[in-house]
């Protein structure tokens, strides 16, 4: 669900069972402590799409479906089993 509040595009997201509002135009910071282990499948948000991805050994991100490198991962939005 998306809505506009005060001129910002917001989305209602569920993360670890908790609902939260996410500003779709704001670029969140990914902190090292928040990164999943190398090879763990997660759902990430890129500028124009979301997909299942994993992090490589040199911190690059890879699309889990077709193996292409993801250049602009903005946020890890879901980690399975947490």
pLDDT classification of 81: cutoffs 50, 70, 90: confident
Q: What is the pLDDT of residue 31?
A: 60
Beta strands in 1-82 (DSSP E): 2-5, 8-15, 18-23, 42-45, 50-55, 61-63, 69-70, 75-79
Q: Which residue has the higher pLDDT, 44 or 5?
A: 44
Q: What is the pLDDT of residue 26?
A: 55
Provide the whole-model pTM. 0.60
The residues spanned by each domain of the chain are 2-79
CA–CA gap between residue 9 and residue 20 (Å, rounded): 13
CA–CA gap between residue 81 and residue 65 (Å, rounded): 20
Q: Which residue has the higher pLDDT, 20 or 43?
A: 43
Tell me the per-residue pLDDT of 39-71, one tens digit each, with 9 for 90 and over. Answer: 999 999 999 999 999 999 998 999 999 999 999
């Amino acid at each position: 669900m998306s809505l506009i509040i005060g001129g910002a595009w917001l989305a209602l997201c569920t993360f670890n069972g908790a609902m939260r509002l996410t500003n779709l135009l704001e670029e969140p910071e990914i902190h090292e402590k928040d990164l999943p282990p190398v090879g763990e499948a997660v759902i990430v948000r890129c500028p124009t799409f979301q997909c299942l991805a994993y992090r490589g050994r040199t911190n690059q991100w890879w699309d889990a479906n077709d193996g292409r490198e993801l250049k602009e991962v903005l946020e890890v939005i879901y980690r399975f089993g947490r």
